[in-house]
Structures are given as C-alpha cells and as structure tokens.
A and B are shown apart, each in its own frame.
Chain A
Amino acid sequence: MSKAREAKAAKIRQLMETEGDAVNTGTSGFNQGRYESVQTLDDYEGLKSEARAIKEDAIERLPELIDELRETVEENGGTLYIADDADDANRYIREVCKDKDAERVVKSKSMTSEEIEVNEALEHAGTEVIETDLGEWVLQVADEAPSHIVAPAIHKSRDAIADLFNETFDPDEPLETAEELTMFAREQLGELIEDADVGMTGANFITADTGTIALVTSEGNARKTAVVPDTHVAVAGVEKLIPTVEDLQPFVELIGKSGTGQDITSYISLLTPPVESPTVDFDDPDTPITDGETDRDYHLVLIDNGRMTMRDDDQLRETLYCIRCSACSNVCANFQHVGGHAFGGETYSGGIGTGWEAGVEGLDSAAEFNDLCTGCSRCTTACPVEIDIPWINTVVRDRVNRGDVSELDWLVEGLTPDEEPGGVSFQKRFFGNFETAAKVGSFFAPVSNWVAQSSISRNLMERFLGIDARRELPAFQRETLVEWFDARGSRVENPTRTAVLYPDVYTNHVQVERGKAAVRALEALDVEVVVPDVRSSGRAPLSQGMISTAEDHAHDVYAGLSEYIDAGHDIVVIEPSDLAMFRGEYEKFLPEQSFERIADSSYEVMEYVFGLLENGADADALSVVDGDEVAYHSHCQQRTLGLEGYTEAVLSDLGFDVATSDVECCGMAGSFGYKSEYYELSMDVGSELKSQFQTDETRDRTVVASGTSCLEQLDSLLSRPTQHPVQLVAPSR
C-alpha cells in the first residue's frame, strides 16, 4: 500500500477505535429520530419543497435582500457590517470588543464563528472567550475541534467527559452522571455569563423585512448570551438571509426534525436586536432589573468569505441553501462510523461539508475527506432543502482530480479510454474505466481470473491501484449475458409487451446468472425480452469524479436505447445504481426531453415484475413457495428511489417470508470497499448489516440483495451464499 493510503487507513482505523462508538450511538439515534419525527408532518415533502423554494429565491435575490436588511437593521438601531473574509470579520469584532473594554465575551454555538476562528482572534487581543453551549464548552476545556456541526462533542462519551471535568476542575465529589455533569457545567457557565461584557451568537436565519434573527437552540444559553450583556454581536454567513418572518415557518418545522430528530428544539429565539428586554447586571445585584434605562448595542456581522463566489458557481450554489441541520451527517453510514474528525475539513463535516469547505476554505480542505462520500444518496431524501449532496461531492471530486496534474499525465491520458484530462489517479481511472477491464476480463476468462487472484497480481494491484488484497475480486464470466442471449434468442410465443433488459456491466460480465434469471422471469410473464449491446451507464466513472466520461457514457446509452424507447418498449434495469443514473444524474447530461424519455421508460426489475403481476400476469408462472424465509437487503440508491417495497411485495406475494435490513448502506459502495485506504471502514460499516443477518430470527434465512456491491459485501461478511431476488422468483428454466 502506498504511504499516503497507509496513513489515511491508519487515521481512519484510529478514529474508528477511539471515537467511532460514541459517534455511531449519537448519529444513529438522531437518524432514527428523524424518521419518526418527520412522520408527524402532514406534508413533509411539500414542506421541504417550500423551504427549498424560499432558499432558491433568497440566494437569487441576495444583493437586494442585503440592501433591505441594511435599512431595517439601521432603522432598528443596530449596525450591519459585511465582512469580505475571516480577517475582516475578526478585525471588526475585535474593534467592537475594544470599544466596550470587553474583558470577556460569552458565545453561543456558531459554526460560522468556527469558520472565521474568532475565538483565537479575540484571545490574541486579550479578550477571554467562553463557549456556553455545553458541547462546545467541553471541547474548549479539552482543546479539541467539533466533530459534528450540531452536536460538536458527539465523539466524546459521558465517561470521557466525566474524566475530563474531574481532572480539570477537581470537584469535591467526582462527577459521574449526565445530570451531574450538566448541573456542574450550568453552574460554572452561569457565573461566567453573569460577568460577561459582550454576548456573541450566530444566526440560523435572518429575515430581511424586519432584521429578525432566528436562533435554534435547546439549552437556553443563546437566550442568556443575548439578554444578559448590553452588547450583542451576531455572526452569520450572508446566505442566512431570507425575505420575511413568515418564511421562517417551514424551516422552524423542519430543522429540529431533520437534525436531531426532535419535533422542535426547546427554544427558537426570534430577536430583532437591540431588544427591549432589560439587561441583567449581576455586578449590581440589588437594583431591580427594570430600574434605569436599557441601552443596548447590536452588531450584525455578515460574512462573505467565498459565499458570493459560490453563488456564481452553478455547481456549488446549492450548498448555500444548506441550513446546517446535520441530517446528511447522521444518515451517512461512513459518517456514523468515523465522525467529522475524518469526514470533515477545516470547519465543516459530513456530506454537505465538502461543498462548504470547497467554497470557503478551498479544494485542498475538501479533498481531504471528499472520498468518504460514496454517492449512496441516502442524504438526498433526508436533506430538508433537497440538496443533491452526492452531486456536489462528485463535482468537487472532479475538480480535485483536475487540479492535481502531474508531468506524466499526458501519457496516462493518451492510454486510457476516458474523457478525463491528467490528474486523475491510477486508482480512480481503473475503477472509472471498469467496463474496459470487464471486457478484457471476460475475453480472457477464466485465465484472467486466475491471474488476477495470484498473489503477485494482488500485490501489484495493491501497490499501483490501491486495491486491497483482502478483498475477493469479481470473477469475470467467459460468456457475457449479451452473448448468451444472442445465441439463445427470445422464447415467448404470444408476448404482451417487449422489454429491453439493460445489460449493466456487472450483470453482463460478472453476475451473468442474475441476468439469465431476469430473462426467464420476464418471459414467464409473457414479456418478450431483448438484450442489446449497450454501453455501461457511466456510474463507475461518475463515482470517481470523472464527470466528462460519465456524460459520454450517458450519450451513448441514450443512443443505444432510444430506438427501443421509440418503439414503445420498456427498459428493465437490474442494477439499482444504474437505474439511479437513468432517473437521476442523466438529467444533468442529456437534453430534458431525452432524460425524461429514458427516466420514464426505465424500471427496476422487481418493480417491473410487480407491475406485471398487478396488471394481471399469472404469478403461478413464477416460483411460488410456501413460507420460505429470506433476509433481504435493499440497495441505498434503490431505497432513495423508493423502490425497495416492490421487491418485498413480490416476494411476499409469491409466498416468501421476508425480513428486510434497515441499515442505510452496506458499506461496499461500488469501488469504495475495494480501496485499501477504506477497506477497514467498509467492513466496519458492513458489520451492522452482518449482525442484522445473524440474529436468531435471520441466521438461517436465504440472503438476497439487489445491488452488485451489496452482494459482494454480503459474500465477504457472511458464510452463506447470496443472490439477487429475481433469481429466487424466476422459473429454473
């Protein structure tokens, strides 16, 4: 393994050991809470679309909204400062504190203030800064960085926090329970807030019409921070602006549910500073709070720091819609196992973190963790503003690839069958051009398989391609599905419909048996099948960030299928990740009409079988059983498309007793689990699926899974054979 890969593997291994359990418990709990909490909404999808539309409009009209906000803030008696970058913001905030002779600033939690590192800037200038969010305070005491954008100390267990407090503060009685730790922190911080000179908050949202800021919190520290001292500095990115107070409503309903799985957080503070509430001067403890005049000072510091450039960037603009709820972190299988210290950059972490880091810090910071997004797409339906987070990760990966051009790249470029310029690593090129490898592999099979499995080959593959030697390689079949079908021909006498079975690269070269089973199942239901020789979907290069190559595939696939679509045939797809291309990413590659035609004509194979049975096809022509027990693992992208239910329904209808896994992803994710730097993480993620299929209830069940990767992962996790569901239901000949 190369040194860089070894170092990355070691870092991930270390974080899995030290922080993985705490992060997994926390994020999995939030994620489960989200599923339950969003069900309380009458129209969850509608609310998300509403929130999305408000953000789209606000970012579109941002300069105009900033002008409006300036007027309202000044009219309210506050000051608006637009900071170009972190230094500019910090200089302004230092001056405010200097004017107030501030000895201590108390802060409520704000990722934007982490981004600009305002604490360090103020401390250099001699002002003490106290984080009052309990999680942030733990990290301040421990001198550690946040590992999660909402629950910053999620990587620390209760025991670790107790040890930290007991060592640092040496309390009379050692602290142990969460209750004791919380009350201790409440007391310590309460005193620090009482003497503070300036209160600094972030802002989750800012309304241009009234200059109202919304703070989403549960502890009450933001309320105290804003009301106790007479000076309030709010720090926020320019993207937090929305037009009106009423526009807050969908966000208030979505943010807690999407993030920590709470219907709503304890406090949504809506403040139009300077507020009328009296300050609470604990230096003068015996004068009633309402005696004397309240003279408050308010500074709103809006930070650009790359955001206006992101706004002009067609690919990164969507990042600005992010409301920092953390849903994409919590739902992400990789994040659940390593947390933000691996799956994060300078400031931001999780799926959307890549977009933020690329925009505010630069590609280098994004490149550090961008590979941890496997494109599984589970975050896209969790995101309350419908951001296509995997696409942002793909775009950033593409830019990282292109930015890293070495002298020898002209040579590689000339030799590889893709559309990419230099800079793409050998590893990414290999996986991106998997179709080429598969063609060669089938042509020389079985010799190619013997050679590939030899220890010398595995050694070379690990060294040059970073393919982990612990992974079993796919065995290429000598006869591809297309060749088999060409020789066999169609065998339906009175067809009711005609379907193209799309020969995805894995079904065509590796999992040929599931392709044959699909042909038999469809024919049994009176569907005439054709299996044309069409290029692979482009999923493989796309997942490596090779966007031009993927687009080239899309054009060829559409050209290869359009005549069949014109003839009114259906397109049946076995591999869910390819169907997800047709219904998803192809929108970015094809003219609108072409995309709609291929998306609307395409079906996942079990979805199609379900449709045939619903429309009167005879189920008895398939393999009907009496309560045979199966354990089914759907596929991440299949679940995102909402298709897992069809497989379950068909199997149940045919008499199978189905138990379905509920992990977000198997951990394999195409090439991800093959890469030596990620192999151990992949297996760690897979361990959850493994344990779900090894309970008393599931141990003896026949294992079926929809995706190629999932089947490969299950093969390495379990000692039982695995197969695609269509192989269970297809007649044997």
Chain B
Amino acid sequence: MSTGTVATFEDSLERLEVGWTHTSSDELGDVLREVCDDPAVGVPLPFGAPLPEWVNTNPTPADLREAKAGVTAAGIGIADYGSVVVQGTPDGVEPVSLFCDRHVAVLRQSDIVSGMPEAFEWLGEEFRTGHSSAIIATGPSATADMGALVKGAHGPKDVHVVILDE
C-alpha cells in the first residue's frame, strides 16, 4: 500500500460524498464522538483499538431500530472505488452496519488495496478459509426507483470512514 493508494481512496470517497477521518488508535474515541449521533451501536474491532463505552456493543433488535450510528470494522478498503468490505461475523457486523442511519466503518490504512483484482485476491482467500460473508459497500444505500436518486433506501443514509494510521 502506497500513499498514492490512500490518496486514490480519498478521491473516490470524495466523489461518493462519503466523509473520512484519519486518526490513531488512541484518538479513535474522540473521532467516533464527533461522527456518531446518539444512540450508537457497534461491534468490537478485531484489531485492538477499543470502542468507547458509550457505543453499545451488545445491541438488541430494539436498539438496532433506534440507533443513529453503527460502528464496525472494515476488512479492506478498495481505493479505485472508495469501497469498504464489511465482513459479517457472529458478533453482528452485518446488522450493525445495515440498520442504522449512519454506518461508521473503521479501517486500518494498511488494509487499503488499490483495485478490484487485489480485492478479489484477498476475498478468495477469505472465503476459502471459512469466512461466510463480505459486503463490498460503496457509499450509502440508494435507489432511483421513485423517480430520482435518493440516498438511504433500506440501508444507511450516510457512511463515514475512519482510517486508522499506524
């Protein structure tokens, strides 16, 4: 991963009108506070950075329905498209990333790949080693079925990407 890849990723997010913030593990809590409205739900991140306590990591269906923000990890980012790959896990990444108005995806900078060929190399390995679900998510959910493009169909109306620099 080169700085060029990160810049391309950011350009793609810009094009998608998806916000992003660079931060470190230590300051992750402050950044999340800025980008999450209450109530927020989340799934503990697999790469060590702890989520602040105000993020409910043990949500019920009622919590999911009420939540304004859902914080999850993203496995990789895809620079050319501004996509984040959200891997469904037993602790609920898929519903948490799907039901809230805003999805906040936390991504390590080193996990940004340049394009789809690199992404599928990674995905092939993930699926062959037993992962059962990965969503290549690009921007918020959207529809044009009602006569004009509307952001926020069945899924989040807005996405924010937090990039963890090491």
Residues of A participating in the B interface, judged by any CB pair closer than 8 Å: 76, 132-135, 138, 151, 153, 156-159, 161, 177-179, 181-183, 185-186, 189-190, 193-194, 207, 209-210, 212, 218-221, 223-224, 227-228, 244-246, 248-249, 252-253, 260, 263-278, 280-282, 284-290, 294
Give chain B residues whose Cβ lies under 8 Å from the Cβ of A177.
Answer: 148
What 0/1 pattern do residues 38 to 79 of B give for CB contact below 8 A with A?
A: 000000000000000000001111101100000000000000
| Interchain CB contact under 8 A, B91 and A219 | no
Chain B residue nearest to A273 (CB atoms) is: B132
Chain A residue nearest to B85 (CB atoms) is: A270
Contact A223:B98 (CB < 8 A) given known A267-B155, A270-B123, A281-B61? yes
A209→B123 CA distance, assembly (Å): 13
A282→B65 CA distance, assembly (Å): 9
Contact A268:B133 (CB < 8 A) given known A189-B154, A218-B143? no
Give chain B residues whose Cβ lies under 8 Å from the Cβ of A253.
Answer: 116
Contact A151:B144 (CB < 8 A) given known A223-B94, A227-B94, A270-B123? yes
Chain A residue nearest to B129 (CB atoms) is: A210
CB distance from B105 to the nearest CB of A (A): 13
Give chain A residues whose Cβ lies under 8 Å from the Cβ of B99.
Answer: 280
A265→B155 CA distance, assembly (Å): 13
CB distance from B61 to the nearest CB of A (A): 5
Chain A residue nearest to B141 (CB atoms) is: A220
B89 interfacial by beta-carbon distance below 8 Å: yes
Give chain A residues whose Cβ lies under 8 Å from the Cβ of B4.
Answer: none
Most chain-A Cβ atoms within 10 A of its Cβ — which of B120, B138, B144?
Answer: B144
Q: Of B88, B89, B136, B148, which one neighbours A252 at CB under 8 angstroms?
A: B136
Chain B residue nearest to A161 (CB atoms) is: B146
| Interchain CB contact under 8 A, B136 and A289 | no
| Interchain CB contact under 8 A, A220 and B154 | yes
Give chain B residues whose Cβ lies under 8 Å from the Cβ of A221.
Answer: 153-154
| Interchain CB contact under 8 A, B88 and A285 | no
Which chain B residues numbered 103 to 129 have a C-beta less than 8 Å away from chain A? 116-117, 119-121, 123-124, 127-128
Contact A134:B153 (CB < 8 A) given known A252-B136, A263-B81, A274-B132? yes
A252→B81 CA distance, assembly (Å): 11
| Interchain CB contact under 8 A, B127 and A245 | yes
B7 interfacial by beta-carbon distance below 8 Å: no
A220→B159 CA distance, assembly (Å): 13
| Interchain CB contact under 8 A, A178 and B147 | yes
Give chain A residues whose Cβ lies under 8 Å from the Cβ of B60.
Answer: 285-289
Q: Of A156, A218, A272, A277, which one neighbours B93 at CB under 8 angstroms?
A: A277
| Interchain CB contact under 8 A, B59 and A288 | yes
B145 interfacial by beta-carbon distance below 8 Å: yes
| Interchain CB contact under 8 A, A277 and B127 | no
Contacts A161-B146, A260-B144, A285-B62 known; 17 new A-B pairs at CB < 8 A:
A135-B143, A135-B145, A156-B147, A182-B153, A186-B154, A190-B154, A218-B143, A218-B153, A220-B153, A223-B94, A224-B98, A245-B124, A270-B123, A273-B132, A277-B133, A282-B61, A286-B60
| Interchain CB contact under 8 A, A265 and B146 | no
| Interchain CB contact under 8 A, B92 and A278 | yes
Give chain B residues whose Cβ lies under 8 Å from the Cβ of A161.
Answer: 146-147
Contact-size category for B: 35 or more
B134 interfacial by beta-carbon distance below 8 Å: yes
| Interchain CB contact under 8 A, A249 and B133 | no
Q: Of B90, B133, B152, which one neighbours A290 at CB under 8 angstroms?
A: B90
Give chain A residues whose Cβ lies under 8 Å from the Cβ of B98.
Answer: 220, 223-224, 227
| Interchain CB contact under 8 A, A178 and B142 | no
Give chain A residues whose Cβ lies under 8 Å from the Cβ of B135.
Answer: 223, 267-270
Give chain A residues whose Cβ lies under 8 Å from the Cβ of B137.
Answer: 266-267
Give chain A residues whose Cβ lies under 8 Å from the Cβ of B145.
Answer: 133-135, 138, 151, 153, 182, 219
CB distance from A174 to the nearest CB of B (A): 15
A287→B127 CA distance, assembly (Å): 30
CB distance from A576 to the nearest CB of B (A): 35
Contact A157:B153 (CB < 8 A) given known A245-B124, A280-B95? no
Give chain A residues whose Cβ lies under 8 Å from the Cβ of B61.
Answer: 194, 280-282, 284-287, 289
Give chain A residues whose Cβ lies under 8 Å from the Cβ of B81.
Answer: 263-264
| Interchain CB contact under 8 A, A246 and B120 | yes
Residues of B participating in the A interface, judged by any CB pair closer than 8 Å: 58-62, 64-65, 81, 83, 88-95, 98-99, 116-117, 119-121, 123-124, 127-128, 131-150, 152-156
CB distance from B82 to the nearest CB of A (A): 9
Contact A277:B90 (CB < 8 A) given known A182-B152, A248-B120? yes
Chain A residue nearest to B93 (CB atoms) is: A277
A285→B116 CA distance, assembly (Å): 39
Chain B residue nearest to A157 (CB atoms) is: B147
Shortest beta-carbon contacts, A-B, top 6: A158-B147, A220-B155, A219-B153, A178-B148, A135-B145, A220-B141
CB distance from B85 to the nearest CB of A (A): 9
Contact A181:B146 (CB < 8 A) given known A220-B154, A276-B133, A277-B93? yes
A650→B34 CA distance, assembly (Å): 61
A263→B137 CA distance, assembly (Å): 12
A263→B146 CA distance, assembly (Å): 21
Q: Of A138, A157, A244, A277, which one neighbours B89 at CB under 8 angstroms?
A: A277
Contact A277:B153 (CB < 8 A) given known A219-B142, A248-B120? no
| Interchain CB contact under 8 A, A275 and B155 | no
| Interchain CB contact under 8 A, B88 and A186 | no
CB distance from A232 to the nearest CB of B (A): 11
Give chain B residues whose Cβ lies under 8 Å from the Cβ of A294.
Answer: 90
| Interchain CB contact under 8 A, B121 and A246 | yes
CB distance from B131 to the nearest CB of A (A): 8
Give chain A residues whose Cβ lies under 8 Å from the Cβ of B65.
Answer: 282, 285
| Interchain CB contact under 8 A, B140 and A245 | no
| Interchain CB contact under 8 A, B95 and A271 | no
Contact A218:B142 (CB < 8 A) given known A268-B135, A271-B132? yes
| Interchain CB contact under 8 A, B155 and A288 | no
A275→B135 CA distance, assembly (Å): 12
Give chain A residues whose Cβ lies under 8 Å from the Cβ of B127.
Answer: 207, 210, 212, 245, 270, 272
| Interchain CB contact under 8 A, A277 and B94 | yes
A720→B114 CA distance, assembly (Å): 54
| Interchain CB contact under 8 A, A223 and B155 | yes
CB distance from A339 to the nearest CB of B (A): 15
A271→B88 CA distance, assembly (Å): 9
A248→B124 CA distance, assembly (Å): 10
A260→B91 CA distance, assembly (Å): 34
| Interchain CB contact under 8 A, A219 and B141 | yes
CB distance from B3 to the nearest CB of A (A): 20
A98→B145 CA distance, assembly (Å): 33
Most chain-A Cβ atoms within 10 A of its Cβ — which of B64, B83, B153?
Answer: B153
A220→B86 CA distance, assembly (Å): 13
Give chain B residues whose Cβ lies under 8 Å from the Cβ of A272.
Answer: 127, 131-133
18 A-B pairs, CB-CB below 8 angstroms?
Answer: A134-B143, A161-B146, A178-B150, A183-B152, A186-B153, A224-B98, A228-B95, A245-B128, A249-B120, A268-B136, A270-B127, A272-B133, A276-B88, A277-B89, A285-B60, A286-B60, A289-B95, A290-B58
